[in-house]
Chain A
Amino acid sequence: QKEVEQNSGPLSVPEGAIASLNCTYSDRGSQSFFWYRQYSGKSPELIMSIYSNGDKEDGRFTAQLNKASQYVSLLIRDSQPSDSATYLCAVSSGTYKYIFGTGTRLKVLA
């Protein structure tokens, strides 16, 4: 069974701090990795995708991938109260199936 694991949280950080979210996956054949944000009662919204080892930055967000360790992370710099949401890690080994983790609930305290 292919799994994606995340700490459910909540992860609480003060406003302006760096939030660090982590994800591990079991399928070594995974090729594509995604971070989604989901507000309560809403649909997932793509934040970033990453495909190769290393870091990828987009504004306040940095995704990190380590395929040898089967590990993906998301850093959110200068966290804002509006960043409070559940962050979902998703993994795909092809085009047709995406596996989501349970999500980490982030609370940014004003």
Chain B
Amino acid sequence: EPEVTQTPSHQVTQMGQEVILRCVPISNHLYFYWYRQILGQKVEFLVSFYNNEISEKSEIFDDQFSVERPDGSNFTLKIRSTKLEDSAMYFCASKELGTDTQYFGPGTRLTVL
């Protein structure tokens, strides 16, 4: 069964460093999403992406964040200058055109020291 994959599974970085989280959505999916979940808290929407552009973003998704689909398979989230409060699990999700069902990847745990 096709699935969303994410790499790395765990990323440790120093405050102020740039990180890139990578996702490979399901191949025929056209909508892509990033969410984050701080430990013990709720899943928070960051951004949605369709047709090579951002469709919607939350107030969390400020200038420190960017997304890109550099090729036909990868979808990346970049955090330019990480802060301690960026430590969280980051989930990528994708969905097919005409459906409402999102499929989540296993997540990347980001730890900012």
Q: Which residues does A use to contact B, with CB under 8 Å?
A: 32, 34, 38, 42-46, 49, 51, 88, 90, 92, 95-103
Contact = CB atoms under 8 A, between A and B. Distances in A.
A43 B105 contact: yes
Given A97-B45, A97-B56, A103-B42, A45 B100 contact: no
- 8 tightest Cβ-Cβ pairs between the two chains A and B: A43-B104, A96-B55, A96-B56, A100-B43, A96-B48, A102-B42, A32-B100, A97-B56
A45 B104 contact: yes
A55 B106 CA distance: 30
B107 A43 contact: yes
Contacts of B103: 46
A102 B91 contact: no
A43 B106 contact: yes
B100 A49 contact: yes
Interface of B: 31, 33, 35, 41-45, 48, 50, 55-56, 58, 91, 100-107
A99 B45 contact: yes
A77 B31 CA distance: 34
Interface-centre pick from B58, B100, B103, B107 (highest chain A CB count, 10 A): B100
Per DSSP, are chain B's interface residues mostly helix, strand or loop, or mixed?
A: strand
A38 B35 CA distance: 14
B96 to A, nearest CB: 11
A41 B25 CA distance: 20
Given A43-B104, A96-B48, 20 more contacts: A32-B100, A34-B100, A42-B106, A42-B107, A43-B91, A43-B106, A44-B43, A45-B104, A51-B100, A95-B48, A95-B100, A96-B50, A97-B48, A98-B33, A98-B45, A99-B45, A100-B35, A100-B44, A100-B45, A102-B42
Nearest to A4: B42
Nearest to A6: B42
Contacts of B100: 32, 34, 49, 51, 92, 95
A46 B101 CA distance: 8
